[in-house]
Amino acid sequence: MIRLMKPDLKFSELDGLEEVINSGFLTNGVKVEEFEKKVGEYVGTKYAVATTSATTALHLSLATLGITQNDEVLVADFTFPATANVVVQQGAKPVLIDIILDSYTIAPDKLEEKITKRTKAIIPVHAFGQSADMDPIMDIAKKHGLFVIEDAACALGTTYKGRKCGGIGDVGCFSFHPRKAITTGEGGMVVTNIKEVAEKAKTLRNHGGVFDGLFYRFEFAGFNYRMTEIQALMGLSQINKIEAIIERRILLAKMYEKKLKGLPGIMTPIIKDWGRHVFQSYVVLLEDGIDRDKIVLFTRHNGVETTLGTYALHPQPFFMQNYGYKKGELINSYKAYKQALTLPLFSDITEDDMDLVVEMISKGTRAQ
């Protein structure tokens, strides 16, 4: 099976593991602090706070910014459910926004019509490694006094008009899941340029406790979202080679573009001129007459792992039952949900592998 993704990770990159284990400090220690510093420097933010996942990074961000019951948050509809789930977990209401189809990112021109007196924040998602169109989003947020929380889970290294994503809004959140460009197994990061936000995030991450030199005093009902030293050690080795990983992925994406050119019914990724696409995933869009799910079954049966792009949230049972959404009402997001197809992409995929991927997709579409 040609897998969808394999982490660019070697066991030798865990040099220092014995030192970490022998130190007796296995969580939230010097390696975590070093990893936070490296990620902050890479993104260009003053502060970074490591967490257990991008989901907990998003949840921590909402809690830190004071998003709570009866608030509303505008969320890109085409995303993994975690982006909206954390809003629900804070007692707030996720208001789902349609996307620009060619970039799979939130449509800025759909935001203002959904803003109410209860709206407190916008969560744009940098889909598959491409930035959302941040300038109009930031302008709208400023006009209405809203926070912007960037879901940059797939976008470490992505740029928008010369700036790294994650460092454009009030807060940015990254993932280090194995399907991302760099990994710590599981793990995430909150980045910000606001000192008070970083300090509160660190407090909430550690049960809401503040150390007074002898004991903790607990100022908030916080969480246990601490990253381990072993994860941070892995992250340090990974962040040091992130540019090489990204350049390799961009090269592979260009190879796919050439190999897929001319295949009927397939739209390859559109790279917007506002910044660098890091291709966390390589996602194509199939014409409406092609059954994407049959393509996934066909390719997997023939040794090639493919999958959907990601989810439209509005047709999921939870969002229909609790917020009254109707299947298909967010047109672009729904089309992407039904017709987007993710192809295998990882650093050591071979050209022969890519040829087989393209061959299977071509045969699968012709069979329909």
What backbone phi and psi angles, to 5 degrees, belong to 163? -110, 145
Instruction: Give pLDDT, residue 11.
Output: 87
Percentage of residues of the chain with pLDDT beyond 90? 96
Residues 229 and 255 in one domain: no
Handedness of CA 84, 124, 175, 279 (dihedral sign): positive
Residues 129 and 151 in one domain: yes
| Rounded mean pLDDT, 316-321 | 98
Whether 297 is covered by a domain: the verdict is: yes
Spatial separation of the C-alpha atoms in residues 222 and 200, rounded to whole Å = 10
- Partners of 121 in the beta sheet? 73, 147
Phi-psi map region of 271: left, alpha, beta (phi>0 left; psi -120 to 50 alpha) = beta
Residues 26 and 162 in one domain: yes
Residues 202 and 291 in one domain: no
Residue 368 binned pLDDT confidence (cut-offs 50, 70, 90): confident
Model confidence over 55-77: pLDDT tens digits? 999 999 999 999 999 999 999 99
Alpha helices in 183-328 (DSSP H): 195-205, 229-239, 242-260, 292-301, 317-323
Instruction: Give pLDDT, residue 301.
Output: 97
Whether 61 is covered by a domain: the verdict is: yes
Spatial separation of the C-alpha atoms in residues 197 and 310, rounded to whole Å = 30
Model confidence over 203-239: pLDDT tens digits? 999 999 999 999 999 999 999 999 999 999 999 999 9
Residues 214 and 298 in one domain: no
Looking at the structure of the chain, the number of domains it has is 2
Spatial separation of the C-alpha atoms in residues 62 and 58, rounded to whole Å = 6
- Non-local (6+) Cβ contacts of 209 within 8 A are 203, 216, 217, 218, 219, 222
- Partners of 99 in the beta sheet? 106
pLDDT exceeds cutoff 90 at 50: yes
Phi-psi map region of 200: left, alpha, beta (phi>0 left; psi -120 to 50 alpha) = alpha
Supply the DSSP symbol for 218.
E
What backbone phi and psi angles, to 5 degrees, belong to 259? -70, -30
Single residue among 206, 239, 272 that ends a domain in this structure: 239
* CATH number of residue 66's parent domain: 3.40.640.10
> Average pLDDT over the chain, rounded to whole?
97
Residues 248 and 234 in one domain: no
- Give the angle 151-67-178 at the CA atoms, nearest 5°: 30
Single residue among 208, 239, 270 that ends a domain in this structure: 239
- Partners of 210 in the beta sheet? 217
Model confidence over 256-301: pLDDT tens digits? 999 999 899 999 999 999 999 999 999 999 999 999 999 999 999 9
pLDDT exceeds cutoff 90 at 13: no
Residues 124 and 250 in one domain: no
pTM: 0.97
- Partners of 175 in the beta sheet? 188
Whether 309 is covered by a domain: the verdict is: yes
| Rounded mean pLDDT, 311-337 | 98
Residues 254 and 218 in one domain: no
Residues 133 and 25 in one domain: yes
- Domain extent at residue 249: 243-366
What is the DSSP pairing of strand 105-106 with strand 99-100?
antiparallel
In 3D space, the residue among 146, 142, 143, 164 whose CA is nearest the CA of residue 155 turns out to be 164
Instruction: Give pLDDT, residue 367.
Output: 86
Single residue among 189, 209, 239 that ends a domain in this structure: 239
* CATH number of residue 260's parent domain: 3.90.1150.10
| Rounded mean pLDDT, 304-320 | 98
Residues 227 and 250 in one domain: no
Model confidence over 168-205: pLDDT tens digits? 999 999 999 999 999 999 999 999 999 999 999 999 99
Supply the DSSP symbol for 226.
P
